[in-house]
Structure 1
Amino acid sequence: MPTANVNGVTLNYEVTGEGPETIVLINGLADDIESWGFQVPDFVDAGYRVLTIDNRGIGKSEAPAGPYTSRMLADDAKAVVDQLGITGFHLMGVSMGGMISQEYALAYPDDLKSATFACTYAAPGPFCSRMFAMWGDMAPQLGVPFVMRDVTLWAFTVPFFTEREDELKEFEEGMAALPMSVDAYLSQLNVIQTHDTRDRIGALSVPCLVLAGEEDILIPTRLSKQLHDLIPGAQWRTVPGGHACLWETPGPFNQAYLNFVRSHS
């Protein structure tokens, strides 16, 4: 896969499709570009070119010393799209990627036709902050794969556990085999612990969609709704599933996103 040497780090990326407009997808915590496997084919079939990027610290990108911030990773994404000469694109980030996308939209609004913030928040608040602090304590003692096993419990709904055990086992095996160092994990974890756009996000003029899983308990849906309420004119959509709705119910997730993007193409 191609790489870009930007901001002192080598980042892995992939461009799929040849559509006249581009969708740029930003990963969540400890997710590499393979995590978009249920989205990229649908978006390409809908006529879009898709750019995915391994954030610093994951996948085939380098993992320089941290901690990282949402603005730092937004600047990384900006450097990649600039190197590729991409402008006027649609940006979507999920979870941590939604935080990075908020910073991108605030810093570089002229690049965007639309921005979508999925399963994310403007600030973590006391509930999420306590959860993330536990992950930070667990990772050095028990390892990143153990923490990701815990994340699986929060990410999917009860019906997924009871009705789709084969798929669940695939996700659990993938989590257990995650090749991410503790240092890189903690560097990315800092992004979701320190992100806060509450006093700035209301200035956005880019067309925005805030998208959430109806049963998200990891980043509670109410936090996504609070983010939506801070952005004048933003659209709000929920889809079936929990925090991992892009994997658990990709059909409704993809359709909700494409309906929004088409309205701004």
Structure 2
Amino acid sequence: MPTVSANGITINYLLEGDGPETVVLVNGLADELETWDGQVPALLEAGYRVLRFDNRGIGKSSVPQGPYTSRLHADDTKALVDHLGLTDFHLVGTSMGGMIAQEYALAYGSDLRSLTLSCTYAAPGPYSTRMFRLWEEMAPVNGIPFIMRDVVLRAFTVPFFTERSAELPQFEQASAFMEMSVEAYLAQLNVILTHDTRDRLGEIAVPTLVQAGEEDIIIPVSLSQELHTRVAGAEWRTTRGGHACLWEFPEEFNVALLDFLGRQRKTAG
């Protein structure tokens, strides 16, 4: 996969398809660009060009000293899309990626045709903050693969473990062989601990979809609903699953996403 030097770091990215409109996908905490393997084929089939990349701190992108912020990651994203000459694109972020996408829309909204914020919040609140502080304390002691085992348990719904056990090894093995350092993990974890756009979301002026997994307990649905109420004119959609709904029920997630994107296309209406 190609890399570029942008915003003082090296960013590993993958640009696929040749459609007239581009969808830019932004990953969550401790997730590489493969996060979107369940979505990219559907987006390409729908005629979009798709850009995905490793955030700073993970994968084949640079791992500079932290802590990182959602605005810093948004500036990385801006530097990448500018290098590639992309404008008037659809920006989609999940979890931490949704926080980065919020900051991008606030700082560089004129770049965007639409904004999708998936399984994310405007600010963490007391419940999520306590969970993330626990991970922060556990990571130096137990290591990142141990933390990711806990994430898997919380991210999927209970029926997934009983009814689809054959699919579990791919997620558990990915967690077991995580190569992310503790320092890089903590640098990214700071993003979700410090992110707060509550007082600025009224400035977002692009068509926006806020989507949540209806059983999300990592980022409770109530926090996504609060985010939705703060973005003027935003659409609201839930899909089956928890925080990992885009992995557990990718078809339903894709239907919701493509329905929204399709209504924002240049040819729509």
Look up the match of 2:72.
72
Residue by residue over 1:52-101, the C-alpha shift from the partner in whole angstroms, topping out at 9 and shown as x without a partner, is 01000011101000000000000000000000000000000000000000
After TM superposition, the score normalised by the length of structure 1 is: 0.99
Report deviation, 1:191: 0.2
- Structure 1 residue ranges (4+ consecutive) displaced by more than 2 angstroms after TM superposition: none
Look up the match of 1:45.
45
After TM superposition, the score normalised by the length of structure 2 is: 0.98
Look up the match of 1:123.
123
Secondary structure of the residue aligned to 1:108 is helix
Q: Does 1:57 align with 2:57?
A: yes
Taking only the aligned residue pairs, the percentage that are identical comes to: 64
Amino acid at match of 2:60: K
Q: Distance in 2 between matches of 1:14 and 1:247?
A: 19
Look up the match of 1:141.
141
Residue by residue over 1:205-263, the C-alpha shift from the partner in whole angstroms, topping out at 9 and shown as x without a partner, is 11000000011111001110010011110000000000000000000101100100110
Look up the match of 2:183.
183
Q: Distance in 2 between matches of 1:264 and 1:45?
A: 17
Provide structure 2 residue ranges, at least 5 long, that are not aligned to the other structure: none
Look up the match of 1:196.
196
Q: Distance in 2 between matches of 1:213 and 1:228?
A: 14
Provide structure 1 residue ranges, at least 5 long, that are not aligned to the other structure: none
Look up the match of 1:93.
93
Report deviation, 1:24: 0.0
Look up the match of 1:31.
31
Amino acid at match of 2:217: I
Report deviation, 1:132: 0.3
User: What is the alpha-carbon root mean square deviation over aligned residues?
Assistant: 0.5
Report deviation, 1:169: 1.8
Amino acid at match of 2:111: D
Report deviation, 1:202: 1.2
Look up the match of 2:245.
245
Look up the match of 2:205.
205
Report deviation, 1:199: 0.3
